[in-house]
Structure 1
C-alpha cells in the first residue's frame, strides 16, 4: 500500500503544482487533492496517513470528524491552530520553495510505516447513443482534470475509427493489436508489453496508446477480451483512473463495456434525434438486463441550470444530472490537445462534474459509489425504487 496524502488547499493552481511535485519526488505517495470543503467531506471516510492543508480546511476537516495520522498546516503567518479544532497540527509556511516545503513535510511526518485504506482503480466510460455530442473532448478534459489532481491516469480510446493521431501524432499504429495479442497469448507478461507500448502525454498528464491504422483492430475486440483488458489494467496497479472513450453503439459489446465500468458518463445534447436515440437505447438495455451505473450529463448546454434552457423535452423517467457542460462555440476545429484543454469555463464544469461523481479525488470504490449516489441511474428496478418510473 502507498502512503496516502490528502492535500487540501483552496488555491487550485497552487494545489495542482504542489501535488505534481510531491508525486514526482515521492512516487510511493498517493496524493489526493481537495480544493473545497464539499469535496473534502466526501473523502472523510478514507483516513489519510498525512493531511496537509490550509488553516480553514484543516479546521473544517477536524470539526467534521476527519482523522489523520499526521497533520501539517500550511499558513502564511505561522498562526497557531487551536487544539480543540485542529488537534495541534504542525505548521509550515505556505509560500516557500517546493524543495524546502518537501523537506519540512518529510521531517514532520512520522517515520513509522502506516497502512492505507484499500485502493482501487476507477474505470469511467464516456458514452453516447449518437455521434457528434463531444464525447472525446469531454473524455480528454476528464483525463486532464484527474491528472492535475496527481492521479495516475490512462486514456483508453476504443473507437474503431480512432482519430487521436491528430492530437498525439501517428506513433506506432499496431500498438493496440500487439497489446491484445500479448494479453491473449501470455497473461503473465502482457503488462510488461503494455509498459513498452504506452506513451505519456504531458498536457494531459496521462498515458495513452497510439491509434490503430484500421477499424478492424477494435472491431475484432470481443466482449471477453475487452473485459480481460479492463480487468488486467485494474489489477496491474499502474493507474488510479482509466477513462475509456468508445464509439457510440447499441450492441452487446457496448452494453458490456458499460457494465465493466464503475461509472458511465452518458452524454446527451439538446437535439430531438439524439434524445430519442438515448431514450430507446437505455430502455432497450434495461429490458435486456442492467447496463450498469450511468450518469446522464447534458453537454453543449446553453443556460445555467441543467435542462432549463432545452428546446426539446427530456422524456426519460428521471431527470438529468445537476451538472452540465457548456457549449464552446470556438471548438469547431480540434487538431491538438491544447485546443480542447484551454477553455477555463469548460474545465471548471468538468471539475465540478468530477467532484460530484467522485472521479479522481476518490480511489476507494465504496466511496466512489457513495459520491455519485442520487445522480446515477442503474437498473430499471433501482430506478423504480426511487419512485420515478
Structure 2
C-alpha cells in the first residue's frame, strides 16, 4: 500500500493534537502519515532539509507558516499545498482548507489534495494493463465526467492511470486546463504530445511494414504525457487540430491503445471516446478490456442505445457478442428509479450513478471533480470493473494468481 506523507503546521497545539488523534483512529489513517509543527523555525528547518529526500505529498499550513515558506522557495518546489484558513485570507478557493469543519471532511479534502506518488509499473511477463472504455450512444450522457472521476478514484487508490480523451470535440479541456497551466507544464512540447505520438506510431508502422505494429514501446510515454495532480493521473494535452482526430482510423486507434498498454507504465487506461460511430469508436471497441456504457433514463437515450446495439449486431456480429461480454451498462443521472423500459430483452443494467443538480450551474471547473456523493458511487463502480478485470486476466492466463487488483 502507498503511504502518503503530509506536513501540518499550526500555532494551535490543541488543534494539532485533535487532528492527529483523529487520524490515528481513522480507517484512512494507515494510508497517510503526518508530520506536525507548531513553531515556524522547526517547520522551516524541516522543509529546508527535503533536498535529497522523498518530498511530502502535501503541506497544510496556516497563513503565517505557508506564506513564508512559499516566498522562500516553496512555490517552485512542486509540493502541493493547502492554506489552513478561517475564511478571511485571499487565496484561491481550491487552495483553501477551512480550519473548523468536521474532521472526516478535513481528511477527505487532504486525501484528494495529496500528490499521488507516481508508481511506475514494472511490466512483467504475464501481466498487462487494464484498459477501460467509457462509451455511450448519446451525447450529453456525462461520459467525460464519469471517465475523469474513474481516473481520479483509481489514482487515489494507488494505481498508475492514464486518461485518454479521443472525442472529436474535447469536453475535458475546461476541467483539465487550469490544473495543467498551474503545474507549469504548459509548453509547446507538452501541447503537441499526442500529435507527436500519433505521428511516431504511424512512422513506426510504415517502417516495420506491418499494419498495426508500432515502434518499440521501451522508451515509454514520458515525453508525450503530462501529470495532472487534481485528476491523480497522466493525461495528454488535448489536440488542437480536429483533423488529426477525424483522420484517425480503427487501426490508428488500436495501435495507440496497444502502445500505451504495452509501455509498462500504467495499471489502468481510461479511454474516453466519441458518441458517434467512427474509426476511433471501432478501435476502442476492439481494444478495450472492459466498458462502462452509459445511458440516461429517457426515451431518446434508451432508443439510441438499442439502435447502436442493433447496428453492431448486424454489421459486426462477432464484435457485438464480445462487447456485450465486456460491457457494464450504467444509468447515469439516476433519480430514485428507472421509469423507461430497456430497448431490448438481452440488455440489462449493472449499476447507477446519481444525478448531481449543482453541476448544472458550474462556475468553477474543479468543482465537478469534488462531489463526495458521486465520488463514492464511482469508487464502487471502479471496484466492480477492476475485480472483473482481474478475473478475466486470470482466466486467460494474462496474470498470475496473487497479482490481483484491489481497491
User: Equivalent of 1:175, from 187, 193, 209?
Assistant: 193
User: Equivalent of 1:332, from 355, 360, 364?
Assistant: 360
- Shift of the 253–315 alpha-carbon distance from structure 1 to 2, 3 Å rule, reads same
Q: Conserved in 2, the CA contact under 8 Å of 1:160 and 1:214?
A: no
Name whichever of 126-135 and 282-291 sits farther off.
282-291
The equivalent of 2:349 in structure 1 is 321
* Cα deviation, residue 265, structure 1: 0.6
Q: Conserved in 2, the CA contact under 8 Å of 1:325 and 1:350?
A: yes
The equivalent of 1:14 in structure 2 is 29
Q: TM-score, normalised by structure 2?
A: 0.58
User: Equivalent of 2:237, from 206, 210, 217?
Assistant: 210
Any idea what the Cα deviations from partners look like across 1:282-306, whole Å, max 9, x if unmatched? 1221222224221110000011xxx
Any idea what the Cα deviations from partners look like across 1:104-157, whole Å, max 9, x if unmatched? xxxxxxxxxxxx994220000100001001000000110011001100000000
Name whichever of 204-213 and 163-172 sits farther off.
163-172
Q: Conserved in 1, the CA contact under 8 Å of 2:219 and 2:263?
A: no
- SS at structure 2 position matched to 1:339: helix
The equivalent of 2:331 in structure 1 is 298
Inter-partner Cα distance in structure 1 for 2:382 and 2:249 = 30
Q: Conserved in 1, the CA contact under 8 Å of 2:217 and 2:263?
A: no
Greater C-alpha radius of gyration: 2
Inter-partner Cα distance in structure 2 for 1:347 and 1:157 = 20
* Cα deviation, residue 315, structure 1: 2.3
- Shift of the 314–338 alpha-carbon distance from structure 1 to 2, 3 Å rule, reads same
Inter-partner Cα distance in structure 1 for 2:227 and 2:258 = 21
Any idea what the Cα deviations from partners look like across 1:245-290, whole Å, max 9, x if unmatched? 1110124541331121001111000111111010010122122222
* Superposed structure 1 runs of 4+ greater than 6 Å apart: none
Any idea what the Cα deviations from partners look like across 1:318-337, whole Å, max 9, x if unmatched? 45334210000001255655
The equivalent of 1:250 in structure 2 is 277
1:331-350 correspondence to structure 2 within 5 Å: 331-334=359-362, 338-350=366-378
User: Equivalent of 2:138, from 130, 137, 162?
Assistant: 130
- SS at structure 2 position matched to 1:297: strand
Inter-partner Cα distance in structure 2 for 1:176 and 1:218 = 10
Q: Conserved in 1, the CA contact under 8 Å of 2:333 and 2:355?
A: yes
1:356 aligned onto 2:394: no
- Show structure 2 runs of 5+ residues with no match: 4-24, 34-52, 55-123, 205-213, 398-407
1:265 aligned onto 2:283: no
Any idea what the Cα deviations from partners look like across 1:196-253, whole Å, max 9, x if unmatched? 1210111111000001113212111111111111111111101000001111012454
- Show structure 1 runs of 5+ residues with no match: 19-23, 26-115, 304-308, 370-389
Across the two proteins, how many residue pairs are aligned to each other? 267
1:184 aligned onto 2:202: yes
The equivalent of 1:373 in structure 2 is none
User: Equivalent of 2:150, from 142, 155, 178?
Assistant: 142
1:1-389 correspondence to structure 2 within 5 Å: 13-14=28-29, 16-17=31-32, 118-169=126-177, 171=186, 172-186=190-204, 187-188=214-215, 192=219, 194-251=221-278, 253-288=280-315, 289=317, 290-291=319-320, 292=323, 293-303=326-336, 309-334=337-362, 338-358=366-386, 362=390, 365-366=393-394
Q: Conserved in 2, the CA contact under 8 Å of 1:269 and 1:300?
A: yes
- SS at structure 2 position matched to 1:130: coil
- Shift of the 258–184 alpha-carbon distance from structure 1 to 2, 3 Å rule, reads same
- SS at structure 2 position matched to 1:211: coil
Inter-partner Cα distance in structure 1 for 2:295 and 2:127 = 31
Flag the structure with higher helix content. Answer: 2
The equivalent of 1:35 in structure 2 is none
- Shift of the 173–204 alpha-carbon distance from structure 1 to 2, 3 Å rule, reads same
RMSD between aligned residues: 3.4
Q: TM-score, normalised by structure 1?
A: 0.61
- Shift of the 319–279 alpha-carbon distance from structure 1 to 2, 3 Å rule, reads closer
- SS at structure 1 position matched to 2:358: coil
Q: Conserved in 2, the CA contact under 8 Å of 1:16 and 1:150?
A: no
Inter-partner Cα distance in structure 1 for 2:27 and 2:347 = 31
* Cα deviation, residue 190, structure 1: 6.4
